[in-house]
């Protein structure tokens, strides 16, 4: 029998308990006061209804936090006065007593996480921190008090690690863990990278990128962010696939981020282009996952990469200029408007723009590269020129423009005839002559050659109309250059307040440049891990390229931040996955939280289905609820899921992006497992035949498969395990 020493009760425990009861009473009192106000009628009906609505909303927001009003405290001295600030998920102001709570997103709340010991208050007073304390409150009960930093007992206590390890040891849910209470200093600093600056966050699998990204959004909507504050409905979150987008949409409201738009770049692009009915394909990925010919794989990779290259923006620009110039030909403009003569009379006025004048205006617009797009800019330039000619007063302008409208419409539609995003992007790629002339001086002869080949001939095309992920950025580029990019509000196109991209290593540099035109300058945060790049064929070569692409479209500087520690998995799992990553990334320096767990389970020598079923049952017996069986291909998952039935294991298959992950035992191919995590992960077919050690792409897949487990990992192979997964002498 093992005897565990009970954790000594903290000397301040009773005092903290009293403070907690006081705070809960104060919060309840405040909620009651707001609810009363919402029932009282004010000066006039409209004002009182607005006030009632506001009070009701405030009461509803605060009531979620009654049971856990805070999770930590800071003992500080400001201008010679000692006080304790309690930090929670929602601010509460106790007007008469000491029971106020500051929110974690506020500047002062942020001091709970950082390592700073001094700061300057908004009133320019010097503040000093004496103690940081974690308070484990659950359902109105204080369960523990741990000092994280205490200047009286020598500074850092090691308590932060203790609290973190305890939290990480808890079973994962199918949603997102609440990490507000245990954010680490490194993560906190990254989360608070200055708003209004492009930020790239690089971090290994499980370093908390997605978690940090979502918390950054919560931080950005806080009023203290001033002019950089983001409004929820004007935030766009782009996840790499629908499985993760649904997951994100489910967890964001928990961070008070209702109304944020969460989708994938493809769905967003199609929606923006008005092509929702089109099917999206990724024929390059299909080829990479199924074709064994390395020559074909390389050619497909190169072409996809060339299509997503930033320089394609200039190629599209040149192409559109040529097309507009050709459409314009010798078109000129004639129109007539009734113009007021004064004393109530009017006379018709002939207005004319010669072909030379129209061309001059168009060239001026193309030189200016307006963010709102060539079409609205040219229209505005034509209107301004005609109004100047008409010599009317300001109050007559609208009337004159109305009269000229239909002739202008006719001219505009001839200049922009046939220029639709899909047709224009394809015209550029399918006509060697167009491509060569648009790419002259921009792309090398070799790249032009790559673009003119079709390495995907062997990959089936859908019967209905489709757009491939590699051509979508080009279509968006056409749309953006012609008509601007952004979020639609009525008939207006406005910039997003903030765009967040998860798994940013998989997005094309061209897409970044276009998103920079769709968001406020500097308001893009991207998270990713270059080691997990599965879609390198459409992704950037590194983060500097991303920052370059973001900066090319608008102003605003950017920075690259790195998360060096990983939190997801036990030491046993992290050590093994680091070994796989090291084969293709020598610089990979993955430091795991030192949390010990079960030994990695290795099962070999038998049919895959039987071994897998055995592993699932073992994992369930060990108490794991969310278990993933990860296969190399979709077809493997489909086959194995039916074979497992015969072994009394019901694993829900996730075979496409439309499937939802809701916990339990699931079986899915590795490319759909990316970004998800489970209590236990089983890598099925963990052998060299399945993941070819000579191909970097395969090692990346293996890394992703093996890094999905939080507490347990099983490696399953019919015969021999993959050489990288063999038990090392140090295991």
Ligand X SMILES: Nc1ncnc2c1ncn2[C@@H]1O[C@H](COP(=O)(O)OP(=O)(O)OP(=O)(O)O)[C@@H](O)[C@H]1O
Binding site for ligand X (CB under 6 A): 164, 167-168, 172, 177, 179, 182-184, 187, 203, 205-211, 529, 532, 567-568, 675, 677
Pair 587, 550: CB distance under 8 Å: no
CB-nearer residue toward ligand X: 482 or 702: 702
Q: How far is the CB of 705 from ligand X (least distance, A)?
A: 11
CA angle 657, 663, 664 (to 5 degrees): 115
CB-nearer residue toward ligand X: 244 or 310: 244
Q: How far is the CB of 628 from ligand X (least distance, A)?
A: 13
CB-nearer residue toward ligand X: 172 or 631: 172
Any alpha helices (H) in 235-310, and if so which ranges? 242-251, 265-273, 283-290, 294-307
Q: Is 464 helix (H, G, I), strand (E, B) or coil?
A: coil
CB-nearer residue toward ligand X: 23 or 210: 210
Q: How far is the CB of 578 from ligand X (least distance, A)?
A: 14
What are the tokens at 156? 């850092």
Angle between the N-to-C axes of helices 472-483 and 374-390, in degrees from 0 to 180, rounded to the nearest 10: 10
Numbers of helices and strands, H then E, in the chain:
24, 27
CB-nearer residue toward ligand X: 570 or 634: 570
CB-nearer residue toward ligand X: 632 or 711: 711
CB-nearer residue toward ligand X: 104 or 272: 104
Summarize the chain as % helix, strand, coil (round to 5): 45, 20, 35
Pair 674, 706: CB distance under 8 Å: no
CB-nearer residue toward ligand X: 110 or 206: 206
Cα separation, 589 vs 15, in Å, equals 44
Q: How far is the CB of 13 from ligand X (least distance, A)?
A: 24
Q: Is 66 helix (H, G, I), strand (E, B) or coil?
A: coil
Secondary structure letter of residue 71 according to DSSP:
S
Q: How far is the CB of 189 from ligand X (least distance, A)?
A: 12
Strands 72-78 and 487-489: unpaired
CA angle 632, 635, 641 (to 5 degrees): 90
Q: How far is the CB of 708 from ligand X (least distance, A)?
A: 8
Kindly write down the DSSP assignment for every residue of 306-320, as one continuous string: HHT-THHHHHHHHHH
Cα separation, 537 vs 552, in Å, equals 21
Any alpha helices (H) in 445-499, and if so which ranges? 445-452, 472-483
Q: How far is the CB of 673 from ligand X (least distance, A)?
A: 9
CB-nearer residue toward ligand X: 403 or 631: 631
Q: How far is the CB of 135 from ligand X (least distance, A)?
A: 16
**Which H helix or E strand runs over 280?**
strand 279-281
**Which H helix or E strand runs over 652?**
strand 652-653
Ramachandran area for residue 441 (φ above 0: left; ψ -120 to 50: alpha; else beta): left
HSE toward the beta carbon, residue 228, CA cutoff 13 A: 20
Q: How far is the CB of 635 from ligand X (least distance, A)?
A: 24
Strands 709-717 and 678-684: parallel
Q: How far is the CB of 586 from ligand X (least distance, A)?
A: 20
Q: Is 393 helix (H, G, I), strand (E, B) or coil?
A: coil
CB-nearer residue toward ligand X: 211 or 390: 211
Burial class (CB in 10 A: 0-12, 13-18, 19+), 11: exposed
Cα separation, 188 vs 524, in Å, equals 18
Q: How far is the CB of 484 from ligand X (least distance, A)?
A: 32
Angle between the N-to-C axes of helices 283-290 and 294-307, in degrees from 0 to 180, rounded to the nearest 10: 160
CB-nearer residue toward ligand X: 68 or 677: 677
Q: How far is the CB of 255 from ligand X (least distance, A)?
A: 12
Q: Which residues pair with 640 in a beta bridge?
A: none
CB-nearer residue toward ligand X: 134 or 554: 134
Q: How far is the CB of 275 from ligand X (least distance, A)?
A: 29
Cα separation, 529 vs 537, in Å, equals 15
Q: How far is the CB of 273 from ligand X (least distance, A)?
A: 28
Cα separation, 539 vs 285, in Å, equals 12
What are the tokens at 556? 């605003």
CB-nearer residue toward ligand X: 24 or 249: 249
Cα separation, 379 vs 411, in Å, equals 10
CB-nearer residue toward ligand X: 263 or 532: 532
* Sign of CA pseudo-dihedral 695, 697, 702, 703: positive
């Amino acid at each position: 029998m093992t005897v565990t020493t009970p954790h000594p009760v903290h000397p301040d425990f009773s005092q903290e308990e009293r403070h907690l009861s006081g705070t809960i009473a104060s919060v309840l009192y405040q909620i009651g006061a707001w609810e009363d106000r919402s029932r009282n009628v004010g000066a006039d009906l409209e004002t009182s209804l607005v006030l009632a609505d506001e009070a009701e909303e405030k009461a509803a927001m605060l009531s979620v936090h009654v049971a856990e009003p805070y999770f930590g405290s800071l003992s500080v001295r400001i201008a010679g006065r000692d006080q304790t600030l309690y930090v929670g998920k929602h601010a509460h102001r106790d007007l008469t007593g000491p029971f106020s709570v500051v929110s974690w997103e506020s500047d002062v709340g942020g001091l709970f996480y950082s390592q700073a010991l001094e700061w300057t208050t908004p009133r320019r007073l010097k503040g000093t921190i004496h103690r940081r304390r974690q308070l484990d409150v659950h359902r109105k009960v204080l369960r523990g008090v741990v000092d994280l930093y205490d200047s009286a007992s020598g500074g850092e206590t090691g308590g932060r690690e203790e609290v973190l390890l305890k939290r990480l040891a808890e079973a994962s849910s199918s949603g997102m863990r609440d990490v507000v209470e245990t954010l680490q200093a490194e993560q906190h600093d990254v989360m608070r990278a200055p708003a209004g600056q492009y930020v790239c966050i690089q971090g290994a699998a499980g370093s908390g990128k997605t978690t940090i990204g979502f918390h950054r959004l919560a931080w950005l909507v806080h009023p203290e962010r001033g002019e950089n504050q983001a409004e929820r409905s004007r935030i766009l979150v782009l996840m790499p696939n629908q499985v993760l987008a649904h997951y994100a949409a489910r967890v964001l409201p928990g961070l008070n981020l209702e109304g944020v738009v969460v989708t994938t770049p493809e769905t967003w692009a199609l929606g923006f282009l008005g092509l929702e009915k089109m099917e999206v394909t990724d024929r390059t990925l299909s080829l990479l996952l199924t074709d064994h010919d390395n020559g074909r794989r390389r050619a497909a990779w190169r072409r996809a990469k060339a299509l997503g290259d930033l320089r394609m923006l200039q190629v599209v620009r040149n192409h559109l200029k040529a097309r507009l110039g050709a459409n314009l030909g010798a078109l000129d403009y004639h129109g007539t408007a009734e113009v007021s003569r004064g004393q109530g009379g009017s006379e018709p006025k002939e207005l004319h723009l010669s072909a030379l004048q129209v061309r001059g205006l168009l060239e001026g617009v193309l030189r200016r590269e307006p963010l709102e797009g060539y079409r609205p800019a040219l229209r505005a330039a034509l209107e301004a020129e005609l109004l100047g000619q008409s010599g009317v007063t300001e109050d007559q302008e609208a009337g004159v423009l109305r009269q000229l409208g239909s002739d202008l419409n006719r001219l505009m539609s001839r200049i922009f005839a046939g220029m639709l995003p899909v047709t224009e992007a394809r015209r550029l790629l399918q006509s060697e002559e167009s491509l060569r002339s648009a790419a002259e001086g921009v792309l090398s002869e070799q790249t032009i050659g790559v673009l003119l080949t079709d390495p995907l001939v062997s990959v089936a095309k859908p019967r209905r109309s489709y757009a491939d992920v590699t051509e979508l950025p080009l279509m968006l580029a056409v749309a953006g250059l012609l008509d601007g990019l952004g979020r639609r509000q009525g008939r207006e196109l406005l910039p997003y307040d903030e765009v967040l991209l998860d798994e940013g290593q998989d997005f094309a540099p061209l897409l970044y440049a276009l998103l920079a035109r769709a968001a406020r300058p500097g308001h893009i945060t991207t998270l990713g891990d270059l080691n997990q790049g599965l879609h390198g064929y459409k992704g950037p070569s590194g983060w500097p390229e991303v920052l370059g692409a973001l900066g090319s479209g608008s102003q605003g500087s950017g920075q690259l931040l790195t998360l060096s520690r990983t939190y997801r998995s036990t030491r046993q799992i992290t050590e093994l996955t680091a070994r796989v990553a090291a084969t293709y990334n020598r610089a990979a320096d993955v430091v795991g939280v030192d949390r010990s767990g079960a030994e990695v389970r290795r099962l070999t020598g038998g049919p895959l289905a039987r071994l897998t079923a055995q592993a699932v049952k073992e994992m369930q017996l060990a108490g794991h609820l969310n278990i993933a069986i990860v296969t190399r291909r979709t077809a493997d998952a489909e086959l194995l899921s039916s074979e497992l039935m015969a072994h009394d294991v019901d694993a829900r298959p996730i075979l496409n992006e439309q499937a939802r992950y809701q916990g339990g035992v699931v079986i899915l191919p590795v490319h759909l497992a990316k970004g998800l995590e489970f209590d236990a992960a089983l890598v099925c077919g963990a052998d060299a035949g399945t993941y070819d050690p000579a191909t970097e792409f395969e090692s990346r897949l293996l890394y992703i498969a093996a890094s999905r487990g939080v507490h347990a990992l099983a490696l399953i192979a019919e015969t021999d395990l993959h050489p990288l997964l063999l038990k090392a002498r140090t295991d």
